[in-house]
């Protein structure tokens, strides 16, 4: 049995009372952990569908019913994604920047058009980072090919999730900037009172209602229809034929541009800037595993997205960018690019159709922006079934922890554990748990092993090798 075909992991019991990155409490965060020496893409897909999340090789699952800020796994159905007006504005603003070179100062007003403009400033528990001083491509081309290139899937790894680089260091998030807006409401109380004094001596106008001598006004839509009908009748068609032709001619309302059309909108022959999605020369055209998506602007690296391509989804792991280009809402732009990537990969793999955005934290207002990618679903923390986010939000408004599955008879079927079938790695040998216990009669770790299996699910517990020493 080749070990490279298996996930090899160590389990860490519950971590209690550590700092929360969302509410900033020092001792209210709780989670369980796994250290993945190696992990197959299918195993990682299955455990994130049970509420796990990775940071490098370390995987963690919040203890939802006790932690201060419950973190719910969220996914967007990319094939049915409906782009919002503010998301369209982000793409259009970015395209204008590429085409005409709008500066940050000239584009400030546009930055306020959509509420997604502030998403890029959010520190999502390590999922979104500002990293200044990106290197020039001309100076660091060789280094990026060796160290910071896209993590392609080595055929020998059989589609493993590998770390995206342990040498990356992340600075503390930048301080918040304050923006003051002065707005005047038309027709406020002072203006109304002044006007009322001016009009006090004017003769009152008396409304007598519609003029009975005039025919009633027709709606513009009806008038246009009558004009079209008259034109057809002038061409020799009868009134009945003209009416039938107009009914058949009715077209569905025009659809807006698709996400792909917006992202790939043609630029002028000589645009002000050129965006280059960098691709590795030695990477496979398709495959599963961990990747870096790099965004190069005129030869300068301005952003990097770390993503996992898994059997059923593209999972967003981290996103970090040059803060000089924060006015372009790069976080939102990259998310839209990643949704387009899911739709593209779906043409090669029909099962791959979701975009996982990490965790949704309802108790943290700044993290609710993920709900704007429609349609989205949250994972029930008890049954591990998916539910529309609109229904979940109503429950979370009442209680920070909630079971989303309303049918009480629905259970976590994968949480039904047979301890004897759990796979163990002991002295470099793979074996089921009952053989391991036979060899170690003086060791009783059954409670910890059962806890591990309930958290990852019996399906994974039968496949992954749990290290025992």
For the cut 90, the answer to whether the pLDDT of residue 178 exceeds it is no
* Same domain assignment for residues 130 and 13: no
| 84 within a domain of the structure (yes/no) | yes
State the chain's mean pLDDT as an integer: 78
Per-residue pLDDT tens digits for 324-352: 999 999 999 999 999 999 999 998 888 99
Q: What is the pLDDT of residue 209?
A: 53
Q: Count other C-beta atoms under 10 Å from residue 385's C-beta.
A: 16
Picking from 114, 111, 117, the residue whose alpha carbon sits closest to that of residue 86 is 114
Residue 186 lies in a domain: no
Q: What is the CA radius of gyration of the chain?
A: 29
Q: Say if CB 70 and CB 401 are below 8 A apart.
A: yes
Residues 388 and 429 grouped into a single domain: no
User: Do 388 and 426 lie in a common domain?
Assistant: no
Same domain, 419 and 397: no
Question: 387 lies in a domain?
Answer: yes
Question: How confident is the model at residue 214, as a pLDDT?
Answer: 65
Distance from C-alpha of 393 to C-alpha of 371, rounded to nearest angstrom: 9
Q: Binning pLDDT at 50, 70 and 90, where does residue 56 land? A: very high
435: pLDDT confidence band, cut at 50, 70 and 90?
very high
- The model's confidence at residue 215, banded by pLDDT at 50, 70 and 90, is low
CB 64, CB 70: distance < 8 Å: yes
Based on the domain organization, do 389 and 271 belong to the same domain?
Answer: no
- Residue 155 is classified by DSSP as G
DSSP H/E element including 226: helix 220-234
Q: Residue 189 domain-assigned?
A: no
Which residues is 290 bridged to in the sheet?
Answer: 308
Contact 4, 158 (CB under 8 A): yes
Nearest by Cα to 460 from 146, 54, 48:
48
More confident residue, 345 or 145: 345
pLDDT reading at 168 higher than 60: no
For residue 363, give the nearest of 29, 121, 61, 49 by alpha carbon. 29
Q: Tell me whether residue 207 is in a domain.
A: no
For residue 78, pLDDT over 50 is answered with yes
Q: In the prediction, which pLDDT does 285 show?
A: 56
3-class DSSP state of 290: strand
Regarding whether 126 and 60 lie in a shared domain, the answer is: no
Tell me: pLDDT of 100 over 80.
yes
6-37 pLDDT, tens per residue? 999 999 987 778 889 899 998 999 999 999 99
Residue 423 contacts by C-beta under 8 Å, 6 or more apart in sequence?
6, 430, 431, 432, 433, 461, 462, 463, 464, 465, 466
Which is higher by pLDDT, 219 or 453?
Answer: 453
Residue 327 CA from chain centroid, whole number: 20
When pLDDT is averaged across residues 217-230 and rounded to a whole number, the result is 81
- Give burial (CB, 10 Å; 0-12/13-18/19+) of 291: buried
Q: Rounded to whole angstroms, how far apart are CA atoms 283 and 253?
A: 43
Of these ranges, 115-124, 130-139, 280-289, 385-394, the one predicted with the greatest mean pLDDT is 385-394
Pairing, β 289-297 against β 465-468: unpaired
Q: Indicate whether 140 and 270 sit together in one domain.
A: yes
Task: Tell me if 121 is assigned to some domain.
Answer: yes
Token readout for 371 is: 């709900």
Strand duo 354-360 + 313-321: pairing: parallel
Residue that wins the pLDDT comparison between 80 and 180: 80
Scanning the structure block, which residue is given the tokens 């203006």?
191
End-to-end CA distance of the chain: 20
- Residue 289 shares a structural domain with residue 402: no
- Average pLDDT (142-151) is 36
Specify if 250 maps to a domain.
Answer: no
How many structural domains comprise the chain? 3
More confident residue, 396 or 220: 396
Task: Say whether both 271 and 160 belong to one domain.
Answer: yes
Confidence of residue 253 (pLDDT cuts 50, 70, 90): low
Domain boundary residue, one of 344, 371, 398: 371
Whole-number pLDDT of residue 278: 56
The average pLDDT across 308-322 equals: 95
Give the domain extent around 464: 3-70+412-468
CA distances from 460 to 14, 41, 466 (A): 19, 12, 10
**Cα–Cα dist 38/46, whole Å:** 15
Q: Are residues 287 and 391 in the same domain?
A: no
Q: Can you give the pLDDT at residue 252? A: 59
Q: Are residues 157 and 298 part of one domain?
A: yes
- 21 and 129 in one domain? no
CB-based burial label for 218 (10 Å; 0-12, 13-18, 19+) = exposed
Asked if residue 255 belongs to a domain, the reply is: no
pLDDT on residue 216 = 65
For 242-265, what is the mean pLDDT?
77
At 286-306, the pLDDT tens digits run 688 999 999 999 999 999 999
Torsion angle of C-alpha atoms 200, 206, 209, 210, degrees rounded to 10: -100
| Statement: residue 141 has pLDDT above 90 | no
């Amino acid at each position: 049995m080749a070990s490279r075909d298996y996930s090899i992991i160590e389990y860490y019991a519950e971590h209690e009372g550590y700092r929360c990155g969302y509410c900033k409490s020092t001792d209210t965060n709780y989670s369980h952990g796994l250290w993945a020496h190696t992990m197959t893409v299918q195993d990682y897909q299955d455990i994130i569908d049970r509420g796990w999340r990775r940071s490098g090789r370390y995987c963690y699952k919040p203890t939802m019913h006790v932690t201060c800020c419950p973190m719910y796994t969220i996914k967007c159905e990319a094939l049915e994604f409906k782009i919002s007006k503010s998301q369209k504005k982000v793409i259009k603003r970015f395209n204008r920047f590429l085409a005409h070179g709008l500066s940050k100062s000239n584009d400030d007003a546009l930055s306020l058009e959509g509420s997604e403009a502030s998403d890029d400033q959010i520190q999502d528990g390590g999922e979104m980072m500002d990293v200044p001083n990106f290197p020039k491509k001309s100076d660091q081309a060789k280094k990026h090919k060796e160290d910071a290139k896209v993590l392609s899937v080595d055929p020998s790894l059989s589609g493993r999730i590998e770390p995206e680089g342990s040498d990356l260091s992340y600075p503390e998030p930048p301080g918040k900037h304050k923006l003051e807006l002065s707005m005047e409401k038309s027709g406020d109380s002072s203006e109304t009172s002044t006007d009322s004094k001016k009009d006090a001596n004017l003769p009152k106008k008396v409304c007598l209602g519609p003029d009975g001598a005039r025919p009633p006004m027709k709606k513009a839509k009806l008038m246009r229809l009558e004009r079209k009908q008259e034109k057809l009748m002038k061409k020799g068609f009868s009134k009945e034929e003209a009416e039938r032709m107009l009914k058949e001619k009715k077209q569905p309302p025009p659809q807006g541009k698709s996400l792909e059309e917006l992202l790939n909108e043609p630029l002028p022959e000589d645009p002000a800037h050129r965006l280059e999605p960098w691709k590795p020369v030695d990477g496979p055209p398709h495959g599963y595993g961990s990747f870096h998506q790099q965004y190069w602007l005129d030869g300068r690296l301005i952003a990097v997205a770390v993503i996992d391509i898994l059997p059923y989804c593209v999972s967003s792991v981290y996103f970090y960018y040059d803060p000089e280009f924060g006015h372009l809402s790069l976080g939102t732009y990259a998310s839209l690019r990643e949704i387009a990537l899911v739709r593209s990969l779906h043409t090669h793999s029909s099962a791959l159709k979701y975009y996982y955005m990490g965790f949704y934290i309802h108790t943290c207002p700044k993290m609710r922006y993920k709900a704007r990618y429609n349609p989205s679903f949250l994972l029930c923390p008890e049954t591990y079934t998916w539910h529309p986010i609109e229904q979940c939000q109503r429950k979370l408004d009442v209680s920070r922890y909630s079971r989303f599955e309303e049918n009480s008879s629905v259970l976590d079927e994968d949480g039904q554990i047979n301890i004897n079938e759990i796979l163990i790695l002991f002295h470099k040998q793979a074996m089921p748990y009952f053989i391991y216990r036979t060899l170690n009669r003086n060791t009783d770790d059954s409670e910890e092993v059962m806890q591990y299996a309930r958290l990852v699910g019996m399906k994974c517990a039968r496949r992954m090798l749990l290290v025992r020493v």
